[in-house]
Amino acid sequence: MLYTNDSEHPTKNVPTSKAERAAFVLSDEEILALSRWACVIERHYGQPMDIEWAKDGQTNEMFIVQARPETVQSRREASAVKTYHIRKKGRQLLAGVSVGEAVASGRVCVIENPSEMGRFIDGAILVTRTTDPDWVPIMRRASAIVTDHGRRTSHAAIVSRELGLPAIVGAARATHLLHNEQEVTVCCAEGREGFVYEGIADYEVEDIDFDSIPTTRTKVMLNLANPAAAFRWWRLPADGVGLARGLGRIAAVQYPHPVVVRMSDFKTNEYANLIGGAEFEPKEENPMLGFRGASRYCSPRYREGFALECRAIRRLREEMGFRNVVVMIPFCRSAKEADRVLEVMAENGIRRGEAGLEVYVMCEIPSNVILAKAFAQRFDGFSIGSNDLTQLTLGVDRDSAELAELFDEQDEAVRWMIQNVITQAHRVGADVGLCGQAPSDQPEFAGFLVECGIDSMSVSPDSFIAVKRRVATAEETVLSDLAE
């Protein structure tokens, strides 16, 4: 969309190619320039600022066109956060781009034009095709907003953030599928995608005061699967990220706390499900124990793919400056395989110990425990993958419904494995952490890990507070027992 000199038609749409639509508007240099200008402006005014910029389409010059005090984020209490959890919900009616992190229920009010403002009921859920500045008076009266069109930078998204309202933009056909007086729930608490559910959902709102969260010797870290989760949970007082499946934005949000990035660990059947994947992947009877993890990195069949992963790590650490990134190698079966992986990494420019780079290994195979000393001499630490370690120790398929009762992370054999690897690793100065749901789901398991002297636990963000408190209680018990 472009502005024109025609007073009757001030804007016009211009066709763009697919490549143009996918391209970034600004270069890295322009983004850095805007960032520096923003810092200067905030220092001048001495407070958070809402800044708008423009770029001349002919000269490519950058301009700051407006700067005013920021009124949403700065009003939030720095030491507290509000979280929303859906307990019970109705049928999903729509999905779109999520704006905000809240949940709201109410009756739908479909508005076609701002001139219909008189029939809008305060607290209703505004549903419309799109918005512009004329809509702001109505938006202020809504409890949530749903639009047919729009993206994260659309007018509806920007104003919703300013007003602190949950909104779903780009929910195609919302004005056709929803009707006036219909009871729905707008949920923006489930990640990048927002949902409209039928009926009034049962949800809870929790106010978390960070000052009430205890400090612990044992680090409690987060498992983050994507950058959206990183931006949603960055305010939690976590000790870093213990398992990350994304890269740059997660590292940036957590800096300078460590972010442990697990290298790819897809199995052959998972690769085969990708478009064209079946043409390249071998068919395996048991992919869980097949061509995955470290063995894939060392294979000529995946050499180029692993080189790209290494290049991404190099760029993060060397070009972007995120030296807080720690590399983790999954499913490494033997010391020989460990040596080969480290060699391949070095060939691709990332060497353990160089510029402070730490390399961890997943402890998810019995051989990782049996040869813990040998692995500890090659890696800086272990991250226990309790799911795989349990199934391989007990010989139980974790996905089997028939054997579900036998899959127990608290089994005596699994506990022995965990305690043993912690003891052996600590003897040679290597750290040990655990990433998995067990500490979240089983309070006594968190206590067991503390008793073993584990260095860190990595849990899902929504269970962070509960696990942190359990760890603090367990540490107090251990200290009390020692005192006696």
Catalytic residues: 155, 435
- Backbone torsions φ then ψ of 197, nearest 5 degrees: -105, 150
Residue 461 DSSP one-character state: G
Helices (H), 216-255: 227-233, 248-254
Closest CA to 311 of 349, 257, 343, 284: 349
Residues listed for the chain = 484
User: Parallel, antiparallel, or unpaired for β 183-187 and 193-198?
Assistant: antiparallel
Which two three-digit tokens encode residue 183?
């009871």
Q: Are 459 and 222 in contact (CB under 8 A)?
A: yes
Which two three-digit tokens encode residue 163?
């007003």
Amino acid at 381: G
Rounded to 10°, the helix 443-452/464-483 angle is 50
Q: Are 154 and 130 in contact (CB under 8 A)?
A: yes
- Please state, in angstroms and rounded to a whole number, the distance separating the CA atoms of residues 113 and 320: 47
- Residue 287: which residues within 8 A CB-CB, separation 6 or more? 267, 268, 269, 270
| H/E segment holding residue 297 | helix 294-297
User: Parallel, antiparallel, or unpaired for β 167-169 and 92-99?
Assistant: antiparallel
CB atoms within 10 A of CB 71: 12
Q: Are 145 and 96 in contact (CB under 8 A)?
A: no
Partners of 311 in the β-ladder: none
CB atoms within 10 A of CB 16: 10
CB atoms within 10 A of CB 352: 14
Amino acid at 176: H
Q: Are 272 and 290 in contact (CB under 8 A)?
A: no
Which two three-digit tokens encode residue 168?
């779903």
Question: Which value, in Å, is the radius of gyration of the alpha carbons in the chain?
Answer: 26
Q: Are 173 and 52 in contact (CB under 8 A)?
A: no
- Please state, in angstroms and rounded to a whole number, the distance separating the CA atoms of residues 170 and 150: 5
